[in-house]
Structure 1
């Protein structure tokens, strides 16, 4: 009897970790071709500026496809989160749609990211494979966590952060420790797969600190607070634009055209064409001390407008842009070396918008090494606390509040938090 139980356990573990490897291999491969595609369309768009004028038409096409054939795929990463929390069904077509429309969104100039597609594809593959292999409920959930890790790690080249992101993404104040081994395996295999295909990632260097003064510490704290507020503002504006558009323009095709046109008009009026797509130049400029707070605000506005209008891609790379430019702008304003502030802003604006503080710290280690670890930790938790219960993933479930003042939100998803004056009863 005991031997049969052991054999069964070994067999189930073998099938599960075999599935983790398959998910990681597929996701890493897709991430490579997604990055290659984005690099090509980004270069093509830069030499064909007129493509921006077709953005409203793409908005209509995107809305039509998702409305008629999406079957819930328009929820994006929130649907992946819900598949962990309550086993929501994830349609396979979601992976194809997000890949294609992310490429098209970048081609026509939407200010969006790239990780959304990678994470969604990892979630789609893990959901489908878990069902095909008839894994039990627990292992299916763990496999989805692993798929998220594979997507994040392979798209950014950050396996340590990817592993933690898979464990943190679905909840606020909770890390899914049961998924630790699966997430680490998927993150490192997924990243290695992308590298084998030939994927390369940008690297940035933090200059050595020569003197830590009380003035430096004060500016560091102020900057960390600003990172938390920026992450909070980004999430708030993105959701507010989306909500306002739905209320003001009930017909989905008219809404898609008008909101796409708003992005185009504002880009032309504010000379914002350089904020199209990933805008990776912002990060390079930030580490050189050439970026400004104004640039961070412009990127925040155009990305919130683009995501609110329904264009596909993701939020993380724009958050990197915003955070690095904000940090660099603050540092240069106080005649401080910009690279450390650019690096911390880059990881922390993302981290508080995604409500993933441990991922934030690991991201710093992946991207810049562990030498500045105390600064990553301090800024990550200051910005996390300041950002409150606001975030880019509205399906996140609040397990532990960020402060005692927000204890009444425990048990709610971000999208379900009662408004002021409303009942707080579950």
Structure 2
């Protein structure tokens, strides 16, 4: 059964990836057709064709390697002019790119080419793909946060500890000389719902915890609901040393690297977690937060990749915030699906992985290098700058920018991307990361 669940998680992520890639290309396809550009192909995957069907002038299909997708637009670049035979590797690559581009321009459709569009239309077409991934991520985050909810500690008591254990102890059970926990001594039971603490009505466990923590040694009146009835209790929190943590839950250290502790009230109450639906604005907020995290990773990508390579050679632990390949994401999805946890919890984690994957596609495709979408945007904007300068200086309009001259750069970037993908796949196979530690 565990193997089937694992495979189910992998399949879930593969289907999600295929949907994400397909919608990315739809984001290019729709504005291209809206602006009159002839689109010859809409393909999901690369390599040998598995299936295709022509509808109108466009061939839709799937290819063997589901690692991306593309649409073939007529006249991505200006047609080539007659010139002497190319000499040298890069010159040949440029000539091949021009020849392939010329083949996309059908007779009679010379006005339905990409390069003739106004700059703003070209930018919209190229940004349509990443924008679709961002919208999909927002939709997933919104369903997850507002439809299902985010886990929070509720006012329902999950358990009550029997004694007060020293901070930092590895002791798992109470000894005879350990002092009784205030909650147990007061008669608080698992299943009780906290109504008020210290005369203050509490709506969340955080509110109840804050009152207890600021009241060491003080007698507090506690009202709970038990089996539909209100029960009055008296609770006196004990003073306990607890380590301070930051907003991300990490221990706060002093100048000597030692944990900083503070005296707080302690009762020994542990709350049940429940999914609490969030406002609709939470989805976009989560998407923006994830975008910042992925952008930071991309900026530090060379160092991150170096660390991945070093972990393969030295056996050191991989950075949990480092990059992953499709293989790594699939393994994480399988691990989550097979873990011993409530189905809803596993579904939420899988949805979070899929949303994060779409944010990664959004950010990565905006990198301003060909063959990525961001590179095509830069080419279009550069042409717009040249045209604007010509108008300002009252010069003739410049010729369209011939991006085929950047084919050598494109090839170098493609090789680097393939190398990065190969490194991450090997790392995810040999030394995979785990969400469960």
The TM-score range, normalised by the shorter chain, is under 0.3
**Rg larger in 1 or in 2?**
2
Whose strand fraction is larger, Structure 1's or Structure 2's?
2
